[in-house]
Amino acid sequence: MPDLKDIRDRIRDLNGKMAHGLDAAIDAAALESFRVEYLGRKGHLSQLFKLLGDVSPEEKGEAGRLLNELRDGITGAFEKRAAALSASSLRDRLLRESVDVTLPGVSRPVGHLHPLTRVQREIESIFLRMGFDVATGPEIETEYYNFEALNIPADHPARADWDTFYISDTTLLRPHTSPVQIHVMESTSPPVRIICPGRCYRRDAQDATHSPVFHQIELLWVEEGLSLANLKYVLELFTREYFGPGYTMRFSGDFFPFTEPSVQVHIKAPGATHWLEIMGAGMVDPAVLSGVGYDPEKVSGFAFGLGIERMAMLKYGIDDIRAFLTNDLRFVRQF
């Protein structure tokens, strides 16, 4: 039968063990093991309380008081330890996650549009202001849209000028944006007033002025009563807007199967001595108009096709077309 002395001895033992146990509880998991071992339902403390039943009635009061004191002591020490641990882990976290706002930041470079995109948008905006709409067409074309509908029959030598990449016997990567004219005219009735920017492909060896992939902008205006004079006026407006005032313009005869007459357009910078070719153009051939169901006796039209790369090269003095597609940031950043 345990007496008061036994209880006191055990309390002293447990107090000693407890102090070590708490010191060893250096993290949340260890602290939880401590709680189970000392304060849990089957822990050291409740084992001691069980002895109380066997203590003699005279000593029971004092033994009970001592045990309560022990329980309060262990609980208090446990709580203090728990508070200290969570404070230090918070401090650790704050230290770990702190941000030094005085360090120089990571600066993300601001991108900008590629020079070709810029030139394309600039040209588009000039014609949008004149009342044209922007139309697009497929880059993989059928022979019909690329050639026949543009008045270039199968055996016509002009096909050689657009020698290109065939996907199958009857489909090919378009070598010009002119087939978009046909798509648009087939699906609308006059008046038609559009420009068509887009990528084109030709079986050209790459050099400073040729690239197998390049971009064109096509223009088409079909309405009653249009003449070469209207074409000239539109081009004069365009040249002034795009290149600036003071440029002179010259038409010379050319041949395209889809225009009659066909012209080559040259411009000359103020003070310059040589002419620069900027595009092919002409009055839409009556055969093309009747091919899409228009009446060439009633409506007439004009068209042109210009190279976007060439426009950019002329305006910015770029002398190698390959610079546009080599992804060299030193080049791209200049614009």
**Maximum C-alpha span of the chain:** 132
Cα separation, 110 vs 240, whole angstroms: 32
| Residue whose CB is less far from ligand DAH, 37 or 277 | 277
**259 near ligand DAH, judged by CB under 6 A:** yes
Query: Nearer Cβ to ligand DAH, position 31 or 279?
Result: 279
**Which of 74/283 has CB closer to ligand DAH?**
283
Q: State in angstroms the smallest separation of the CB of 203 from ligand DAH.
A: 14
Stretch that binds ligand DAH, among 15-23, 40-48, 184-192, 274-282 (CB under 6 A): 274-282
Q: Is 303 in the site for ligand DAH (CB under 6 A)?
A: yes
Structural contact between residues 215 and 120, judged by C-beta atoms closer than 8 angstroms: yes
The 8-class DSSP code of residue 245 comes to T
Q: CA 132, CA 250: separation in Å to the nearest integer?
A: 24
Between residues 66 and 213, which has the closer beta carbon with respect to ligand DAH?
A: 213
Identify the sign of the CA torsion 179, 184, 189, 190: negative
Residues 181-240 touching ligand DAH, rule: CB under 6 A, are 218
Query: CB under 8 Å to 251, separation ≥6 — which residues?
Result: 232, 263, 264, 265, 266
Least Å from the CB of residue 330 to ligand DAH: 31
The smaller minimum CB distance to ligand DAH, of residues 44 and 177, is found at 177
Residue nearest to ligand DAH (CB): 305
**CA–CA separation, 64 and 182 (whole Å):** 105
In the complex, which residues of this chain contact ligand DAH (CB under 6 A)? Answer: 176, 178, 218, 256, 259, 280-282, 303-305
